[in-house]
Amino acid sequence: MSSNRYSPLTQNDFEDSFDQDSEDYLAEINTSQNHYESSNETIQPDVWYSSPPIDKTINDEVLNSLLSLSDDGLVKRKNGMTKRSPNKSSPNKKNNGYGSCNNKYLIDPIITPTYRYAYFSSVLPSAIRTKSLIELAPTIIDNLDCKQCFWIDIQDPTPTEMKQLQDIFYIHPLTTEDITTEEPREKCEAFNHYYFICFKTFDADPYSPTYLQPIGIYILLFKDFVLTFHFGSLPHSANVRRRMLHLRDTLVVKPDWICYGLLDDITDTFAPLIRGIEFEVDSIDELVLILKESEQSDMLRRIGYCRKKMMSLLRLLVAKSDVVKTLIKRGEEQTAKNDIIKKNRPTIDKDVIIYLGDIQDHLVAMLQSLHHYEKISSRSHSNYLAQISIEMTQTNNEINDVLSKLTALGSVLIPMNLVTGLWGMNVQVPGQFQEDLTWFFSIMACIFTFCILSALLMKSYKIL
């Protein structure tokens, strides 16, 4: 066998290898650049979310599939009878969390009996209330033919219903996630064919344990309709519908106006609370310095409760101005270059933008008022604590005055007790064998003289 089984590398071999690597590296760079240039020509779609077709924001196929289902998950026959879906009763199929594996539009087996869906349209005299999305599907399909603006208010949506609504209205999964998890942050986001607005309201019942706790209302503003979601019963949707019915003769109902009405109604609910805080702060500021000590027992509690309410309102109002400002900015911006976005994205009229500016002014004024009231309550709190400190100092001074007088009295009585103690010992003392009262009156005279001199001395030093 040859001993040179592996020949050593030479300098030329290193140079050839380096040249080959350089060529491969340059070829890879050129390929990546060509791919980048080609990718800029067409926007790649989201792999998790398919954009809606042009001039279409509602999926008719999904709505038609919902019509074939009844409220209990049974498939309807043409003759009116129902039968159990074979996919649902198959023992080999497992539930995926959104209904049956083969039919994902089956509703949840347990649905609250309340009417959680409210459908309002400009052509209807009143709102239509249903218990589930399946009952509302025929109304939505009928409205597609007349092409009128409509509004669907949804209370306590379930995960299955959110999945159905996501497929029907082409809602982005991130929006669905924010609604399902009750996103706490207030914001305004723009998607290809709708605006997503998260706005916070509160529980206005003063006897409720969740009083002034934030409750989210989520608004999806489309070109031809509006979807609203909230968890819990809120009066804002009913107030806006009542307002639209009242202005039916003079108002052209559009999605942007419905969004404005909701924001305006939520903002107006803060006005009575801020007015009450104003009266409370003014009364505290006036009474904190004139009430007597016996009348100030609950003053600290009133100040603390008022400041707590102000902090809660500040937390609810601090981000609303930015949300409205962002919505105004979106309305004032020019249409995008993308054809899909240009045709499907909702528009906000100039008149509605003016009304949104009025809401922003109210929010800014409320925030300024709350900051001003917070400063006044902080000053009242400081004044109250200072007055308590002054009263405590006065009480301590009075106690010290009494103690000084008692000390002066003790300084007078101690020498007198010393003298009487000396003459009261069981030993021989001066005047012990005198039969008259000369020594007695002499001792008493000395004691009274000492008392008089001590009193004069203390008076001269203003001790007594």
3-state SS of 315-370 is HHHCCHHHHHHHHHHHHHCCCCCCHHHHHHCCCCCHHHHHHHHHHHHHHHHHHHHH
- Phi, psi for residue 246 in degrees, rounded to 5: -70, -35
The pTM of the full predicted model, rounded to 2 decimals, is 0.70
**Residue 425: C-alpha distances to residues 100, 390, 441, 446 (Å):** 111, 52, 18, 19
Mean pLDDT value of segment 413-417: 82
Which residues, including other chains, have CB under 8 Å from residue 183's CB and lie 6 or more apart?
198, 216, 218
- For residues 1 and 276, the model is more confident at 276
What distance in Å separates the CA atoms of residue 316 and residue 202, rounded to the nearest whole number? 8
Q: What is the pLDDT of residues 193-214, one digit of tens each?
A: 899 999 999 987 777 777 888 8
What is the pLDDT at residue 76? Answer: 45
Closest residue by Cα to residue 71 from 163, 165, 137: 137
What is the pLDDT at residue 444? Answer: 87
List % helix, strand, coil for the chain (3-state, nearest 5): 55, 10, 35
Q: What is the average pLDDT value for the chain, to the nearest integer?
A: 77
Sign of CA dihedral 337, 342, 346, 351: positive
Percent of all residues in the chain with a pLDDT value above 70, rounded to a whole number: 75
What is the pLDDT at residue 48? Answer: 53
What is the pLDDT at residue 438? Answer: 85
What distance in Å separates the CA atoms of residue 409 and residue 454, rounded to the nearest whole number? 9
Which residues, including other chains, have CB under 8 Å from residue 262's CB and lie 6 or more apart?
199, 217, 219, 228, 236, 237, 240
Of the pLDDT bands very low, low, confident and very high (cuts 50, 70, 90), residue 412 is: confident
Does an H or E element contain 173, and which?
A: helix 173-180
Q: Could you tell me if 237 and 153 are in contact, meaning their C-beta atoms sit under 8 angstroms apart? A: yes
What is the pLDDT at residue 124? Answer: 80
What distance in Å separates the CA atoms of residue 452 and residue 10, rounded to the nearest whole number? 126
Does residue 265 carry a pLDDT above 90? yes
What distance in Å separates the CA atoms of residue 325 and residue 327, rounded to the nearest whole number? 5
- For residues 4 and 164, the model is more confident at 164
- Phi, psi for residue 221 in degrees, rounded to 5: -95, 110
Q: What is the pLDDT of residues 304-354, one digit of tens each?
A: 899 999 999 999 999 999 999 999 988 887 544 444 455 667 888 888 999
Q: Could you tell me if 243 and 268 are in contact, meaning their C-beta atoms sit under 8 angstroms apart? A: no
Mean pLDDT value of segment 128-134: 89
